[in-house]
Amino acid sequence: MTADERVGPPLTGSERETLRGFLDYQRATLAMKCRGLDDDALRQRSMPPSTLTLLGLVRHLAEVERAWFRRVFEDNAAPMVWSDRTDFQAAYDASRSTRAEAFTAWEAEVERSRRIEREAATLDVTGLQPRNGATVSLRLVMVHVTLEYARHNGHADLLREGLDGTVGA
């Protein structure tokens, strides 16, 4: 795997700077786990019966970004990227996906999420979570999405570990 170029969260900073730093660190972790791999390697499945792949994780986290930032704070009716019925599982099927397709969607959603966060007056700004109709704060969304990345980056660690033993062998 390539060198670790991630920037860690600030050791001192405001709540917002700290949350932003942790979320960006987790985003950078996903990108790092995928760095240097071609489409075939990114579509490599873990152990059967699991169909989990690094490319599937990238697609899923694009959906997470959209569902928790765009759909909550901008457009409750915005369609998901890979599902017409808010099925987060659909994104995991990366069998016909490419790095370019998945990363273009993911990077676009990340940039939109960053803009939404930057433009919000405070972390107390609220929006409607369309899946359950709950009112949620930007603070909750940033924590939730950070935890989503952390959980899935654990899977990415294992997937990459398996690939590092086979890529180029």
81-93: average pLDDT: 76
Dihedral sign (CA 89, 90, 95, 97):
negative
Q: Quick: pLDDT tens for 104-153.
A: 999 999 999 999 999 999 999 999 999 899 999 999 999 999 999 999 99
pLDDT at 166 over 60: no
Q: What are the structure tokens assigned to 143, written together?
A: 């924590």
pLDDT of residue 161: 77
pLDDT at position 1: 52
pLDDT of residue 157: 82
So what's the pLDDT on residue 94?
Answer: 86
The confidence band for 162, taking pLDDT boundaries of 50, 70 and 90, is low
Cα dihedral 53, 116, 150, 57, rounded to 10, equals 0
Pull the structure tokens for residue 9.
């969260």
Average pLDDT over residues 70-97: 84
Task: Say whether pTM exceeds 0.85.
Answer: yes
Structure tokens at 4: 């670790």
31-71 pLDDT, tens digit each: 999 999 999 999 988 777 878 889 999 999 999 999 999 99
Long-range pairs for 27-31 at CB < 8 Å and ≥24 separation? Answer: 27/110, 27/149, 29/149, 29/153, 29/156, 30/57, 30/58, 30/61, 30/149, 30/152, 30/153, 30/156
